[in-house]
Structure formats: structure tokens, C-alpha cells
């Protein structure tokens, strides 16, 4: 995708596509300023290639984007959080007391964390993926959702073991290794 479209703003197109698709987006642009690259990546682009570029480099970047998408399209895992099992594909959660009702939003947040299990997922990324790009600045809603997930899934929500806050950055999911459960 070229940012310099004749009839639309390229960044706006990237944002719109991200509201409904996770297709890899490689930006091809003559714009070389760092701030422009950051804006495109923050809008949802997966890569940024400045003109002029070689065809082999572009093809390698497209292949890399497709590999990342293929890995991301694998079926979501079954999370084991102490006595709680969450099947993200079936959207079922079961604990010691029986079924646990999670909202569609809670499943989206949990799935985003699960795709990057063990890694920090930024607040911005969680907001973009669970709520959409137009709500990226609303971190209060994310805090409420995380609190609700902890209340439902953590043995002691006041001292979370599985959905951990990384101060000033985001959150990390630390599920139990199924071999340990």
C-alpha cells in the first residue's frame, strides 16, 4: 500500500482495514521521515519499505508478513490458569465451580494476550485489537476489563499470577504449562 494515494489518506485506509482484517500490510512510500514511518506502523501497518527498493527485498518482506500471519492464524490455545481452563477456540471457560461466563470483549483481550503468551503486550496493542483503532486512547476501559478477567480467572485477583501488569507498558499472560497442570 502506498501512503500517497490520489483520492484517500493512506494512513486512514490502513486504520480502516485494521478494523476488520489482520491481513499483512506493507507500506511502500517515498516518505522517509522517522515520524511518518512510526505513524504508519502505529496505524496498523506490519512493515514499511522506502522507495526506491528492490523487488527481492519487497518479496522477502511480503513472505515474512505472510509467515507471521500464518503463525497467528493457528487455532487459539487452551489456557490453563491453575484450576481454570479456557478454550479460546470454543469460547468456553471452566473452573473448579463450573462454567465461567466471559464476555466477547474479555475473550478478545485474553486471546490477544494468549497469542503472545509470556511476552508483554502493550496497552495500545490490546486496545487496538480488542476495541479497534478509534479507541486506542481509552486505557480505562482496558483496566476495567483486566480487573474483570482477574476476578473471574485468578485464584487471588488482588495478587494476580496469570494476568500480570507491566507498569507503564501493558500486560503479560503467564499461563501454567499444560505439562505442569
Q: Tell me the torsion sign for CA atoms 103, 104, 109, 112.
A: positive
pTM: 0.58
Residues 6+ apart with CB under 8 A from 114: 76, 77, 79, 88, 173, 175
Q: Tell me the torsion sign for CA atoms 140, 146, 149, 155.
A: negative
DSSP-derived secondary structure letter, 76: P
Which of 110, 107, 127, 123 shows the shortest CA–CA distance to 173?
A: 110
Q: Which residues of 29-46 are buried (b: 16+ CB within 10 A; e: fewer)?
A: bebeeeebbebbebbbbb
Q: Coil, strand, or helix at residue 100?
A: strand
Domains of the chain from N-terminus onward: 10-72 (3.40.50.2300), 78-173 (1.10.10.10)
| Cα separation, 113 vs 163, whole angstroms | 9
Per-residue pLDDT of the chain (181 residues; tens, 9 = 90+): 888 888 888 899 988 887 777 788 999 988 888 899 988 988 888 899 999 889 998 888 888 888 777 665 555 678 889 899 999 888 899 999 999 999 999 999 999 898 888 888 899 889 988 887 777 777 899 999 999 999 999 999 999 999 999 998 999 999 775 444 4
Helix-strand-coil percent breakdown of the chain, rounded to 5?
Answer: 40, 20, 40
User: What is the arrangement of strands in the sheet containing 163-166, beginning at the earlier edge strand?
Assistant: 120-122, 170-173, 163-166
DSSP-derived secondary structure letter, 2: B
Amino acid at each position: 500500500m502506498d501512503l500517497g494515494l490520489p483520492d484517500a489518506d493512506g494512513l486512514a485506509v490502513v486504520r480502516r482495514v485494521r478494523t476488520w482484517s489482520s491481513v499483512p500490510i506493507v507500506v511502500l512510500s517515498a516518505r522517509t521521515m522517522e515520524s511518518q514511518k512510526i505513524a504508519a506502523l502505529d496505524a496498523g501497518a506490519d512493515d514499511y519499505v522506502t522507495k526506491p527498493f528492490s523487488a527481492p527485498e519487497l518479496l522477502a518482506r511480503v513472505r515474512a508478513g505472510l509467515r507471521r500471519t500464518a503463525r497467528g492464524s493457528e487455532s487459539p490455545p487452551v489456557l490453563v490458569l491453575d484450576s481454570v481452563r479456557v478454550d479460546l477456540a470454543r469460547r468456553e471457560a471452566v473452573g473448579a465451580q463450573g462454567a465461567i461466563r466471559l464476555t466477547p470483549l474479555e475473550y478478545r483481550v485474553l486471546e490477544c494476550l494468549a497469542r503472545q503468551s509470556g511476552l508483554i503486550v502493550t496497552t495500545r496493542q490490546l486496545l487496538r485489537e480488542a476495541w479497534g483503532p478509534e479507541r486506542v486512547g481509552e486505557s480505562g476501559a482496558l483496566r476495567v476489563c483486566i480487573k474483570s478477567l482477574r476476578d473471574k480467572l485468578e485464584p487471588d485477583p488482588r495478587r494476580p499470577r496469570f494476568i500480570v501488569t507491566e507498569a507503564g507498558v501493558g500486560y503479560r499472560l503467564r499461563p501454567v504449562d499444560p505439562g505442569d497442570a
